[in-house]
Amino acid sequence: MQLLLQELQRSSLSVVFLLLSLLFLSLFFTNKFSKPAFKLKLPPSPPKLPIIGNLHQLGKLPHVSLRALSEKYGPLLFLKLGFKQTLIISSSDMVKEMIKSQDIIFSNRPTSTAADIFFYGGKDSAFAPYSEYWRQTRKICVLQLLSMKKVLSFEYVRKEETEELVRNIRNSSLGGEAVNLTEMVVETLNNIIFRCILGMKFREDEMKKKFGGLARRMSTQFVAFSYGNYFPFLRWVDVVTGLMGSLKESFNEFDSFLERVIEEHKKAAESNDQDHEQADKDFVDILLRLQKDGMLDVELTQENIKAILVDMFVAGSDASSTIVEWAMAEVLNCPTAMKKVQEEVRRVVGNNNHKSRIEVNDIDQMDYFNCVIKETLRLHPPAVLIPRATSKNSVKLGGYDIPPNTNVHINAWAIQRDPKLWDRPEEFIPERFENNPVDFRGQEFHLIPFGGGRRGCPGSTFGLFGIEYMLSNLLYWFDWKLPENGANVEDMDMTEAFAIAVHKKIPLTVVPIPYSP
């Protein structure tokens, strides 16, 4: 998201915008926008500007700007973003109250231009409105696509792709040159996701060129500034600025590809007489079988299937690669943590395996390694601002009135860096989780990297299996150092780039040194 004022400066339409805005000021005095007869006790709000409200207070990193505002005005913050009323929650206590007592009322999702385009008008699971359709699609995801049984069935895919990543890094390291680890991790996770979801490899040059950065690009486009999101009567400006065109270009690329993949799966299924267990090799197979059986309470159309697949692709690839990227960056920045975690990984693998190959069961015995994962998720949650929206009913939260149809953003990034909850919250200290049973699956409200309640991420287990296996292999097979600039080692640039999953602005470039067990 970018500042509205910055956007206006870049656009030749600023004068038009201001004139139109003045014209529509009368809307504020109509019944639609007038205040109710009774006075609501709203949460605190910073001073607003006419028309744009608080939009000018959102910086290039909104989670950072919103934390600063919450520190000044309180953990519940009521903003007017254009014509959108928005609640910002930056307190674990308020999140707990919301999920424990009012979760149903807060279980909608905000609408947006990008979500409407990318997810076929809300036909997916992640951004579908709270409804019977959402309940059915989430049930499909939890029981059919992302169950523990299905996650474990893809173990061979994770192993094959990670072993190839290790080979590629080893080959690249022969000359002592630096490698773009971000790019290599993204490509490997794309391979894993494509094989699990679509049943095909991602290695063909044409596919790499077309879809190599698509998940990360869509994640960035998703949060790009849209006039229509905040000023519905200015939706047409998104066409003129080119935003609508770029969103549809990304959508059309992936949509046409999914159409082709689904048709190929349908043809293969027609000539396949195997039972369901044998035939369900990937997510497309499962969804087509459910569509054919007609056992669901809602219709599963071709668009529904494609929307669910886009969910899996964007979340599975971009969020997972971002976590691996940040974990490697943090341990590189903390030599004591790097030394400690590598010693543990190599000790556990050496004790358990004669062939020096990491097995899934090994990871369960790596206590400090799991602390590194938790600390990475604390500092760099895959979703820094968790989106919710209230239903048509008003609700009380923290003693305040929350109006109907209010957009809600839980600032997980701020909560997980709250000095009232965490000692030295800005520092990477995996030791804080030693002998600490805190979990990150939505039951502990001061650590919510995957959300919680009804809208908690159903794919966290699927993603974590891939993250843990890949990261443990990177730490086992290589020592790592930063590239040298003359005689001095460059400091790591930890600047963030805002997207659905906030990633490093500068890709992680490092020098691998092969390790011989």
Per the listing, tokens 């459910």 go with 290
H helical segments located in 382-514: 412-415, 460-477
Judge whether 381 and 95 are in contact, CB under 8 Å. Answer: no
Q: DSSP string spanning 104-154? A: TTT-B----HHHHHHTTTT-SSSSSPSSHHHHHHHHHIIIIISSHHHHHHT
* Amino acid at residue number 488: N
| Cα atoms in the 13 Å half-sphere on the side-chain side of 154 | 30
8 A C-beta contact, residue 408 and residue 111: no
How many other β-carbons are positioned within 10 Å of the β-carbon of residue 253? 15
DSSP at 431:
G
Binding residues: 457
DSSP string, 192-247: HHIIIIISS-S-SHHHHHHHTTHHHHHHHHHTS--HHHH-GGGTTHHHHHTHHHHH
Q: Which of 395, 449, 443 is nearest to 417 (CA)?
A: 449
Q: What are phi and psi of 396, to 5 degrees?
A: -95, 135
Place of tokens 């299996």: 465
Q: Which helix (H) or strand (E) holds 302?
A: helix 302-314
Contact 122, 128 (CB under 8 A): yes
Whether the CB-CB separation of 425 and 92 falls below 8 Å is answered with no
φ, ψ for residue 47, nearest 5 deg: -55, 145
Residue of 82, 87, 77 whose CA lies nearest to 27: 82
Contact 436, 444 (CB under 8 A): no
CA distances from 88 to 72, 194, 397, 421, 455 (A): 13, 35, 12, 18, 17
161 within 8 A of 192, measured Cβ to Cβ = yes
Residue numbering of the annotated binding site for heme = 457
Greatest distance between any 2 Cα atoms in the chain: 76
